[in-house]
Amino acid sequence: MITLAAVRRALRDHRPQVADAPDARPAAVALVLLEGEQGLEILLIRRAERADDPWSGQIALPGGRYDCGDRDLEATAIRETREETGVDLSGAERLGVLDDLYPRTPALPPVVVRPFVFALARRSPLVPSDEVQRAFWLPLERLSEPGVRREVTLTLRGAVRVLPAYVVDGEMIWGMTERIVTPFVDLISNSL
C-alpha cells in the first residue's frame, strides 16, 4: 500500500525533468493527496463540457495556465486548485515536483505542465467551479486493481488512437492526467 511516508521518501530524492519549450505557455497542476479510510486518496476533477476547452469533459488534476499575477508555477497550482475545487493548498504540505510534460498532439495548445504534489492534513469540502463538472477523491490503490489500467481506443479529432488509461467506476483517466499519475505511482512503488 502506498503511504504518505513512502511518497515523502520517493520525492525527497526525485529531480524533476524540466521541459525546454520556449514557445509553450507554462501551466501547473496539483496532485493533491489525503490519507483516507482506504489509504492515500488523490483529488481529481471532471472538467465541464465546454466548446472552448480542448480538455472538455476529461478527468484531470486541478490546475491551469500561469497567470502574470502568480508568483511562480507553484502559486499557479495553488490558485487553480482553489478556484476549481475550493480546496486551499496554502497550508498544505508540499511534497515535491514531478517531471514537466506537454501534449503529444499538435491539435492541443502548446503548453508545458508542471505537476506539484501536495498533502492535505484533513479533508475539506469540495466546491467545484463552473469549469468543473465534479470534483472527487479516488483511493490510489484503485489504480493498481486488476483490469483498471488498460489500452483504450478513442476517436480524437477524427483519428482513431489506442492509448493507455485507467477505467475506474465508469471514469476514464487518460491523456496528460494518465501521463502524470502513472510515473508518479511507479516512482512511489519503486521506492517501497
**DSSP label of 69:** T
- What sign has the CA pseudo-torsion 139, 143, 146, 148? positive
Summarize pLDDT for 106-138 with one digit per residue, the tens.
666 788 999 999 999 999 999 999 999 999 999
Summarize pLDDT for 8-48 with one digit per residue, the tens.
999 998 999 998 877 889 999 999 999 998 899 999 999 88
Write the CA distances from 145 to 83, 99, 139, integer angstroms: 32, 25, 11
Cell of 88: 486551499
pTM confidence score:
0.93
**Domains of the chain by start residue, with CATH:** 4-141 (3.90.79.10)
Percentage of the chain lying above the pLDDT 70 cut: 96
Alpha carbon 95 to its chain's center: 14
Please give, one letter per residue, the 3-state secondary structure of 118-160. Answer: EEECCCCCCCCCCCEEEEEEEEHHHHHCCCCEEEEEEEECCEE
